[in-house]
Amino acid sequence: MLRGWQASESSRLQKCGRYLLFACFLTLATFAVASFSAFHWADPHFVSLSAVLQAGIYGEAVGDSNDSESSEEEGPEEAEAEEGSEEAEAEAPVQTPNASNTIPVEKAKLIFVNCVEDGKPVKKRGLQGKVLMCQHQCNLTVNKKDFARADAVVFNPLWMTPLKSPPRTKLPGQIWAYSFHFESASQHTFARKATQALSGKVDLTMTYKGKSDIFRPYYRFRSLEPEERPDPKKDYAQGKQHLLLWFVSNCGAKGRMSLFKGLQKILGPEKVHMFGACGRSAGCSSAHSGDPCNIRLMSKYKFYAAFENTRCEGYITEKFFRGLGSRTPMVPLALGGLGRKDYEFLAPPDSFLHVDDFSSLEELAQTLLEIDADDTRYNRFHAWRQKQKVTTQTANYRIAYCDLCERLHSGQQLHPRSYGGSLEKWMFDGCLSDGPRWKA
């Protein structure tokens, strides 16, 4: 009888233990959900839980530069660029639960991106999946089967090979966007023809031109938080033994080459150095600007020759931003765009010099020498670093696509179209030669 009671009691204890474990599990699960919910609502970088579970987490678009000098010149510091990935994320508003404590599910808009290579969608570019950190929900796709059901289609004229030409008619309610970035407008005959086929059909422009509906430069600037600010007493002239540096591999742009050699002749070959395919070897195993060897080299120079191979409105590449990174602080000597105004639209006006600021080669050379001899004056070109920082390429992709996403959800369109009557002329006409306005 005792044994029977013991067996019965043991059975009850086992059941009780299981119930207790189950109760503990429920308690922990409830606590975890509550904690996640509190964290979710407090963090603007989190999309809704249902959206996360349904869509998963996908990467954002990555760089797709095909610039003729891109292999020799990377971004300001791509190795540094991702150190603050938060700066690459477009701000999303904090959502709050409604009265019934449920999360409203917003229907995602679909954006088809004409991103191809050898006639096949290029998923490796990161254009497949969810647009993260946007105020509204959108999904990117490169699958041509999604073209007909897409809310928006993004055409890049350099990627139009498989479509040959855009469809003759647009689907009702479908928005077409024209994306041209990372390339000089004057360098691509095929792109011009493809753009001509799109003229009059495109609703929005997404380019490096400041007058675009969606501005998409190489890089941007963002404000610094107080704790991010560098030492205000830092001497940016310290340790800089040389005056002007240039990395260049495209030797065919004669105007800028003549300008640099003219400066080298006046300022002296011991102060002005050219590296790359057109100059001497830097002795580094990598051409990446984030390579430690290149960082050590660049840290010895006060100015960087940010000379573009063509001068088109708004065309400002990584060359300009190379010296603006925090690990290799230099002052860009810019030659590009249609003049200083193109650069001031993007960068602090006291962060650079532009070749067009001067009336002659001699005046430019003399100014560089004067700044070189005056550390206080040189440091003024770095004062902006107390307030701002260069963002990443990832930030620009997110900002641009989130802008498009928000327009799709709000129904916002600009009329008349930003490019006027001819998209082709708006994008490709008006470029200058690669040299200064005055003869070098």
Q: For residue range 302-357, what is the model confidence (pLDDT) as tens digits?
A: 999 999 999 999 999 999 999 998 888 999 999 999 999 999 999 999 999 999 99
Residues 353 and 255 in one domain: yes
- In a domain, residue 212? The reply is yes
CATH of the domain at 299: 3.40.50.11660
Mean pLDDT value across residues 41-64: 27
pTM of the model: 0.74
Query: 197 and 277 in one domain?
Result: no
Give CA–CA dist 247/289, Å, rounded.
Answer: 10
**194 and 152 inside one domain:** yes
260 and 312 in a single domain? The answer is: yes
Domain housing 179 = 105-220+416-428
Same domain, 237 and 344: yes
Q: Do 236 and 313 belong to one domain?
A: yes
- d(C-alpha 244, C-alpha 410), whole Å: 48
Note whether residue 137 is domain-resident: yes
For residues 213 and 249, state if they share a domain. no
Asked if residue 80 is part of any domain, the answer here is no
On whether both 249 and 348 belong to a single domain, the answer is: yes
Helix, strand, coil shares of the chain as percentages rounded to 5? Answer: 40, 15, 45
Band of pLDDT at residue 129, cut at 50, 70 and 90: low
Beta-bridge partner residues of 207: 180, 215
| Number of domain units in the chain | 2
- How sure is the predictor about 34, in pLDDT bands with cuts at 50, 70 and 90? very low
* Under 8 Å between Cβ of 381 and 351: yes
Task: Write the burial class of residue 163 (CB in 10 Å: 0-12 exposed, 13-18 middle, 19+ buried).
Answer: middle
In a domain, 314, yes or no: yes
**Do 255 and 290 belong to one domain?**
yes
Is the domain of 229 the same as that of 213?
no
Residue with the bigger pLDDT between 404 and 115: it is 404
Answer yes or no: do 256 and 287 share one domain.
Answer: yes
